[in-house]
Amino acid sequence: MMPAAWGAAASVPAVFSAIGDAGTAGPVFWASCGFMAFGAAWAVRVRPVRAYVLAHELTHALFGILCGAKVGRLKVAASGGSVALSKSNMLITLSPYFFPFYAVLLALAALCASLACGALPCPQAWLAGAGFLWGFHLCFTVSSLVVRQPDIQEYGRVFSWTLILAANAAFLAFSLAAAGQVPLSIPAVAAADHAKQAYLAVRDAACAAAGMLSAAAGR
């Protein structure tokens, strides 16, 4: 899992490099403005906690439905929330930490607007909104991970954090590639290449350590 997380994380700078080479940084600039706007709001402690709790519980519910679970009562409050599901699994439990709920809703709305109008009206505003909502997702996700979370404890911190890092990096890389109008194959290839390199490095290190231990035991 760790090589995959490294590969996904390394795909983000690869996308930025491709955008720079393609000369299509304009859309990413507007998305970055939105991202920094939420970062500024977060810094002065303007934090819409209820909106985050709602997105968190709705994401549990969405992935529960996708996994065949029945959804029951939903509770949302500034102090926390809950949703009743007939079953749970790793994907349902960890999904709110890597699925940018509001950013995906905005992307779907942008797609509908493009289909209805023939072209996306005022694309800069949509891109800024996407950046703002990505900032919302990442800031709340990081703040959630630094406190004791039952969702994270269920599958262990190391595994959960690694999966969350990999999935968020992959989502972000593909979102940037789409905004920067570069082929989606760029983050995919970069992630695969770096993951392979990380796997080989871990394998070689493990083999070297095993050889040292074997030699020491034979003395």
Q: What is the pLDDT of residues 134-153, one digit of tens each?
A: 999 999 999 888 877 777 88
- pLDDT exceeds 80 at position 203: no
Q: Choose the most confident range, by mean pLDDT, from 12-21, 44-53, 79-88.
A: 44-53
Q: Residue 121 has what pLDDT?
A: 79
Q: How much is the pLDDT for 6?
A: 67
- pLDDT for 65 beyond 70: yes
| 174 or 109, greater pLDDT | 109
117-126 pLDDT, tens digit per residue, is 877 778 888 8
66-91: pLDDT as tens digits: 999 899 888 888 778 888 999 888 88
- Select from 194, 183, 195 the least CA-distant residue to 19: 183
Asked whether the beta carbons of 15 and 186 are under 8 A apart, the reply is yes
Is the predicted pLDDT of residue 190 greater than 70, yes or no?
Answer: yes
Please give the model's pTM, rounded to 2 decimal places. Answer: 0.81
Lookup: tokens for 193: 């290449």
| CA-wise closest residue to 151 among 101, 96, 102 | 96
Residue type, 51: A
pLDDT value, residue 217: 66
Give the integer Cα–Cα distance in Å for 187 and 82.
35
Average pLDDT, the chain: 82
Backbone φ and ψ of 88, nearest 5°: -145, 155
Q: Which of 151, 157, 48, 146 is nearest to 96 (CA)?
A: 151
Identify the band that residue 182 occupies on the pLDDT scale cut at 50, 70 and 90.
Answer: confident
Q: Using a pLDDT cut of 70, give the percent of the chain over it.
A: 91
